[in-house]
């Protein structure tokens, strides 16, 4: 498997997950998770996650230490996002039910699974 494919899947997944985080701000996701500190902690956590994700992209592009691990981390974020939000929906929460919200989450899952498969094949 070519690293170029892995990089493009990573970029696509990061873009979809970033879009999901914009949607999360709209739905006030920090309330769903009961985060102490509310939107302020939510913003700080997102900043930290994006820094890690962007470092992961750099490492993958340059094929440096931690590239695989950070690729798996981003994929795990997408799988977690889909899973937890489907659980919220299944348990009656009204958030994230719009067609675009669901499509973003489904796309994050598909890209994350593809990212895991591609990352497994990298040498």
Contact 67, 75 (CB under 8 A): no
Model pTM? 0.94
Residue 2: the pLDDT is 83
Residue 1: the pLDDT is 60
Residue 123: the pLDDT is 75
* Helices 38-62/3-27 angle, 10° precision: 170
State whether residue 34 is helix, strand or coil. Answer: coil
Q: Tell me the chain's radius of gyration from C-alpha atoms.
A: 15
3-state SS of 55-117 is HHHHHHHHCCCCHHHHHHHHHHHHHHHHHHHHHHHHCCCCCCCCHHHHHHHHHHHHHHHHHHH
In 9-122 the beta strands, taken as DSSP E runs, fall at none
Q: What is the mean pLDDT of each run of 10 residues along the chain (123 residues)?
A: 91 98 97 95 97 98 95 98 98 97 98 97 86
Residues 6+ apart with CB under 8 A from 65: 59
Residues 6+ apart with CB under 8 A from 78: 13, 16, 17, 108, 109, 111, 112, 115
Dig out the tokens for 95 from the structure: 């958030």
């Amino acid at each position: 498997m070519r690293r170029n494919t892995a990089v493009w899947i990573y970029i696509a997944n990061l873009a979809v997950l970033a879009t999901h985080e914009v949607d999360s701000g709209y739905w006030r996701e920090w309330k769903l998770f009961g985060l102490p500190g509310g939107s302020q902690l939510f913003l700080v956590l997102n900043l930290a996650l994006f820094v890690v994700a962007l470092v992961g992209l750099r490492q993958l592009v340059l094929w440096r230490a931690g590239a695989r691990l950070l690729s798996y981390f981003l994929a795990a974020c997408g799988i977690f996002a889909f899973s937890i939000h489907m659980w919220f929906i299944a348990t009656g929460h009204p958030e994230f039910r719009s067609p675009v919200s669901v499509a973003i989450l489904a796309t994050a899952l598909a890209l994350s699974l593809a990212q895991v498969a591609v990352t497994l094949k990298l040498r």
